[in-house]
Structure formats: structure tokens, C-alpha cells
Amino acid sequence: MRHTLSKQERLSSKKLIGSLFKKGKAYTHYPIRLIYLPVEGLEEDQVLFSVPKRNFKKAVDRNLLKRRMREAYRQHKHLITYRSTEEVHFLLGYIYIAREKCTYQRIETKILETLYRLKK
């Protein structure tokens, strides 16, 4: 099993991002908010990570938090990607909502909680 996050797994289509934020459902596991939308016709799950500029003015801080979220998701994405042959895949949007930087361990724990909840 490969633990990679390929280009095809990253959500970059403006059309899909718009539909995710319009029609998607959300829940929060502080400091992370997950917005998800089940979609048919995708080859695999697609994910995006966001840290608001309003909360973290320096790009270095935003990039650090996005890197931590990506790594935690990459390590544990197998929880939702290796489902039985379902034709429904998810669009996922992870948004960091805290105003302070959290450790990787805390972010990893919260991402795991979101993935377990999404799996149900």
C-alpha cells in the first residue's frame, strides 16, 4: 500500500470546489473543520487544505499548518480510500479554524477523528 498524495487526489477544479462549498456538509473537530460532498463519477477521493490568511498573516505559518494537515491525511487516507467497490467518492475540504498553531500530533488526532466519522 502506497502512502502518497498524488496530483489526481488534490482538489483543484474551481467547479468542484464551488460545488463542495455550496452543497457540501460540514462538521468540526476543533481545530479542523471538514467539508465533504459525496460525488459519483470521480476516479478517487479529492481533497483540499486551507488555512485562512485572516488568522495567520505570514505565509510561512500557513504553509506549515497545511503541510501538517496534508501529512496527517496522507498517512491515514487508507481509512476511506480502500472501501469496497463503491462508485461514490468524496470531495473533501479541510479548513484550519484555530487562531494558534497546533502540534502535528493534535492535528493528526483530529484528522483521524474526521476520517473515522466520514467512514460511517
Tens-digit pLDDT profile for residues 96-109? 999 999 999 999 99
pTM of the full structure: 0.91
* Separation of CA 83 from chain center: 17
The candidate with the shortest Cα–Cα distance to 44, out of 86, 73, 75, is 86
Residue 88 and residue 112: Cα distance in Å, rounded?
Answer: 21
The domain ranges of the chain are 7-119
- Summarize the confidence of residues 21-28 as an average pLDDT: 96
7-119 adopts what CATH topology?
Ribosomal Protein S5; domain 2 (3.30.230)
